[in-house]
A = this chain, B = another copy of it.
Amino acid sequence: MDAPHVFTLEADMLEIGARARAAAAVLRDLSPAQRTAALKAMAQALRSSAAAILAANAEDLARAQRQGLSPALVDRLKLDATRIEGVARAVDEVAAIADPVGAVMAEWTRPNGLKFQRVRTPLGVIGIIFESRPNVAADAGALALRAGNAVILRGGSDSAASVAAIGDALRQGLSQTSVPEDVIQIVPTTDRAAVGMMLKGLDGAIDVIVPRGGKALVARVQDEARVPVFAHLEGLCHTYVHEAADPKKAIEITLNAKMRRVSVCGATETLLIDRAVAARLLPPIAEALTAKGCELRGDTEARGVVTMNEAAEEDWRAEYLAPILAVRVVENVDAAIAHIARYGSQHTDAIITEDKAAAEKFLREVDSAIVLWNASTQFADGGEFGFGGEIGIATGRMHARGPVGAEQLTTFKYVVRGDGQIRP
């Protein structure tokens, strides 16, 4: 493209940023009830725009088929009446979440009489960069709005028409309410330079970037972003069967943690099992997994108990997202914690035991976003946490960690009330 076009892109993107900032300033000061009404209007508009959204989706699907996209990608892209109703219902569910804005997180009074409050406020403007599933536009937009934020959404080129149609519906819903339409804006170009501009913050207009997609997208975002990022890197989750594990729980939880859905970030990738119970518990656990089609890759000791493939060093570092499980026999809870510290991704790790002291040690010393006792790692999900929705799971340590719900999309300010105090 030639220079005038580049200039237009840049000017257009900065205009989007400025509109988002202005809309966020209005949204911030509205009441929770006004935000709830806007969310309900958005859900209704998705329903009443179903025909237009499906027509746009058909365009995307036709192009995808011409371009020979894989059936899995085409399925992610595809919308139908049921899926649109599902998207609308998800927005209604977000409308039912308690509005986090204005909540008093802490309050105290100083000896000089100054009264302090720490109060939740919206983060501001959130840039969301996502790949194939077009419903992210509605899910993420709704959750951001619940917390008083404006969003700038940039979908993948595969879903461009569907995302544009969903965006039109959401904005049409907002046009009936006191919330400015510009709290939700869709970047209207598939030019990759637009993503680069978002990652630089659009001249201070974007407060945080949330990438939703595969590792390549997240890596690009983390590498190029000059504004903070809530990134999800890797879910290398462990289930550890302690010597005092209840056998039934060990079998059921391990099977669920690995096989309920193998492609989610909370799926267990490595099973650690205490030497003292390996001979007794590994066979039934392995049998349950194998019966469901799971491949096992074990260390020497595990293979001495159950016939399975050999695990190499890289298996301890593998986020398979597939029906494969690495298996390692460990000496005790300390060894399990050490393995997780060395190889884990600080996402989600579980211990199965009836020994409270061992469990509490594991819960305290494993430095992961989510640590569980006698429960499946697949509970790593904002809905399961009761957040009513999530914009992703953050694997970083700053601001948000674990499922990012409405509360994590806020910041805070200090409100100080005095009666004439001056500082000595």
CA distance in complex: A143, B256 (Å): 43
Interface residues on A, range: 35 or more
A331 sits at the interface (CB 8 A): no
Interface mask (A1-38 → B, CB under 8 Å = 1, otherwise 0):
00000000000000000000000010011000000000
Question: Contact at A375–B421, with CB atoms within 8 Å?
Answer: yes
A311 sits at the interface (CB 8 A): no
Could you say which of B25, B252, B368 contacts A422, with CB atoms under 8 Å apart?
Answer: B252
A68 sits at the interface (CB 8 A): no
Looking at the assembled complex, report how far the CB atom of A280 sits from the nearest CB atom of chain B, in whole angstroms.
Answer: 18
Question: Contact at B368–A416, with CB atoms within 8 Å?
Answer: no
Return chain B residues, CB-CB under 8 Å to A253: 420, 422
A374 sits at the interface (CB 8 A): yes
Please classify the interface of chain A as helix (H, G, I), strand (E, B), loop, or mixed, using the class held by over half of its residues. mixed
Could you say which of B114, B378, B401 contacts A379, with CB atoms under 8 Å apart?
Answer: B114
Return chain B residues, CB-CB under 8 Å to A358: none
Given contacts A379-B114, A398-B228, contact A373 B417 (CB under 8 A): yes
Could you say which of B114, B246, B364, B371 contacts A375, with CB atoms under 8 Å apart?
Answer: B114
Given contacts A108-B386, A419-B374, A422-B252, contact A367 B121 (CB under 8 A): yes
Return chain B residues, CB-CB under 8 Å to A411: 397-398, 401
CA distance in complex: A422, B370 (Å): 15
Given contacts A121-B367, A398-B208, A401-B411, contact A374 B423 (CB under 8 A): no
Could you say which of B257, B341, B373, B376 contacts A25, with CB atoms under 8 Å apart?
Answer: B341
Q: Point out residues on A near B: beta carbons under 8 Å.
A: 25, 28-29, 102, 108, 110, 114, 116, 121, 123-124, 207-208, 228, 246, 248-249, 252-253, 255-257, 260, 341, 359, 363-365, 367-376, 378-379, 381, 384-386, 396-399, 401-402, 411-423
